[in-house]
Amino acid sequence: MTPIAPGTHLDHLLRQTRMHHVQLSSMADVKANIMLSLAALLTTFSIGYLSDPVLRWPVVVLIFFCVMTVFFAAYAVMPKLNFDFRPDIKNPDCNILFFGNFMNLDYEDFGQIMDEMMHSADKVYEAQVREVYELGVYLGHQKYRYVRLAYLSFITGLVSSGGLLILVEIIRLWR
């Protein structure tokens, strides 16, 4: 990276960007929770209609897609941690500010790395920029991808079961 003079403008930029990432992460968690709750409730209420011969297959389709929705929503908010991971601190790609990278370090190792980093403005900014980047990548590739799949699964289930119900009714009326 090109050296830039440290200052409050850079601090504010990085702080604001991190706050936005935290807000986006929280929003993804809320959306996933809504989808999880809605799909679970719909599944619970739908089970009672499995004995109705007209509604059986539309309900089976709806329940299938609701279970898929629950799976995707739960996966979106499930913590992804590697409890055996030991970071290679000498690797410049290591994000020491991310708890998943330092959770398996002893405090002495972590303190030494942080002390070394805090004595260099360039290293401090590099660590913050790396953290902002990795938060954004994680949000895009993990959380929001699976929240999107949960929404798509739920909508597909509603449309498919509704279409199947209409088809079953049309066939029943023509007989």
Q: What is the tens place of the pLDDT at every residue in 86-124?
A: 766 666 667 778 877 778 888 988 888 888 888 888 888
CA distance 112 to 109: 5
- Write down the pTM of the prediction: 0.81
Lowest-pLDDT range, 74-88, 113-127, 137-151?
74-88
User: Is residue 143's pLDDT more than 60?
Assistant: yes
Nearest-10 Cα torsion for 30, 24, 145, 104? -90
Nearest to 76 by CA among 155, 141, 18: 141
